[in-house]
Amino acid sequence: MKAHFHTKLAAAAVAAGTLFGAHAVSAAETIKVGVLHSLSGTMAISETTLKDAMLMLIEQQNAKGGLLGKKLEPVVVDPASNWPLFAEKARELIAGQKVAAVFGCWTSVSRKSVLPVFEELNSILFYPVQYEGEESQRNVFYTGAAPNQQAIPAVDYLRDVEGVKRWVLAGTDYVYPRTTNKILEQYLKDSGVPAEDIMINYTPFGHSDWQTIVAEIKKFGSAGKKTAVVSTINGDANVPFYKELANQGIKAEDIPVVAFSVGEEELAGIDTGPLVGHLAAWNYFMSVDAPENAAFIKDWQAFTKNDKRVSNDPMEAHYIGFNMWVKAVEVAGTTDPDKVIDALIGVTVPNLTGGYSAMMPNHHITKPVLIGEIQDNGQFDVVWKTPGLVPGDAWSDFLPDSKPLIADWRKPMSCGNFNTATGKCGGKGS
């Protein structure tokens, strides 16, 4: 009886080993790709779309034969708009699931939360959202806009084309608006704008009572000089903000608002009436007339089985970043992070506006900058764009401490914040 039991145990162990072996083989036959976007909580409205976009891109790549002869396998987690949870989920993807790269994060605070994890475990993050700059990490590739690819050109447009002389810098109270406005304030002063012609205001996430602030903006704009609002207001606070502008009779032609965080996804499903005529600055709009864009929108709406689904700028950033990663892996012949990080620099892929974007040594990309006017159908009419592509600047030329810094991850420099004045690398890159 005892011997029979041991025989059964041994047989079970062999079967388990066989099963485990089969599982190990099947795991080795796929390349796992991490998707780290909030599918619940306050950021889900913006980030769920990026998760869907990644699933489409992975499915398309698999239809082309996968990568290095293997299928790509998406691994989706939900950090639930909880900034510390982003770090926990990143660790789960890298250490637990052994993903080859991660595509994710939206807010700067979520990105800052995961940085130490990517450094410690030496993985790769593609970050697809416009941000405040002042960072260049070896393990991160920034496919969204730096301030010189969105905020600075938007101010140039308002000043040179619209004749704006007075400036309201209105933002949500967190790192991205504060740092961006610090850069813009210095840029405006350097351009000869006096301090009394700059008004700066911050409000908490989800701010809803705009009556007093809009009254102050209206008063500020009544000094006889053309006034504009440069808005880094994020999320659902935008809806009551624009409504209050309309309530107080402020029209786009009187005091235009140029927004950096209002895109097609944010306009879908809300009353766009109060926003018509106001502006947004991005590197991509769904309305761009380019064959690549038409094909992308067609594929997107087919994938989601919804011909009303919109595309937006961060989706294009994931499209660019994913195709760059695929190309770099093919060049490197492996998903080994060190080899792929090196191979990514210099990679060029099509963007959706009809050109090509390149990954630069500072881990930022080249992008066109577009100004769009909001239409009543929730789309944008492109009213201005840069003549060519703008290279992303990791360190702003308009902040004294950042001006001498450059980022170059090529050997032998391999530094995210090299000080050209002292000739020294400052450390990790942020």
Q: Which residues of the chain have a pLDDT value below 50?
A: 1-27
What is the 8-class DSSP label of residue 70? B
Structure tokens, 362: 């500072």
**Token pair for 132:** 């405040």
Predicted pLDDT of residue 28: 67
Residue 219, judged by CB atoms within 10 A of its CB (0-12, 13-18, 19+), counts as: exposed
What is the pLDDT at residue 27?
A: 47
**What is the structure's pLDDT at 42?**
79
Residue holding tokens 């005892």? 2
Q: What is the DSSP string of 79-108?
A: -TT-HHHHHHHHHIIIIIS--SEEEE--SH
Check if the beta carbon of residue 278 is closer than 8 Å to that of residue 373: yes
Peptide bond into 412 cis (omega under 30): yes
CA dihedral defined by 54, 57, 58, 59, rounded to 10 degrees?
120
pLDDT at 103: 99
Question: Does this chain's domain 25-145+293-366 share its CATH topology with 148-289+371-391?
Answer: yes
Task: Parse the chain into domains and list their residue ranges.
Answer: 25-145+293-366, 148-289+371-391
Supply 210's token pair: 């705009």
Q: Is 23 in a helix, a strand, or coil?
A: helix
* pLDDT value, residue 77: 98
C-alpha span between 107 and 95 (Å, rounded): 23
How many of the other CB atoms lie within 10 Å of CB of 25? 9
Predicted model pTM: 0.90
Q: What is the pLDDT of residue 430?
A: 63
Query: What's the rounded Cα separation, in Å, for the pair 20 and 278?
Result: 59
Cα separation, 214 vs 217, in Å, equals 5
User: Domain 25-145+293-366 classified CATH 1.10.3720.10?
Assistant: no
DSSP secondary structure of 109-162:
HHHHHHHHHHHHHT--EEE-S--------TTEEE-S--GGGTHHHHHHHHHHTS
Q: How many Å apart are CA 129 and CA 145, to the nearest integer?
A: 7
Q: How far apart are CA 233 and CA 60, in angstroms?
A: 35
148-289+371-391 maps to CATH 3.50.50.60: no
Residue 41 carries which side chain, given as an amino acid letter? G
Q: What is the pLDDT of residues 60-69, one digit of tens each?
A: 999 999 999 9
Give the C-alpha separation, 10 to 33, whole Å: 37
Phi-psi region of 309 (alpha: psi -120 to 50; beta: other; left: phi over 0): beta
Does residue 370 contact residue 384 with C-beta atoms inside 8 Å? yes
Q: CA–CA distance from 66 to each of 72, 112, 143, 327, 360 (Å)?
A: 6, 31, 23, 12, 26
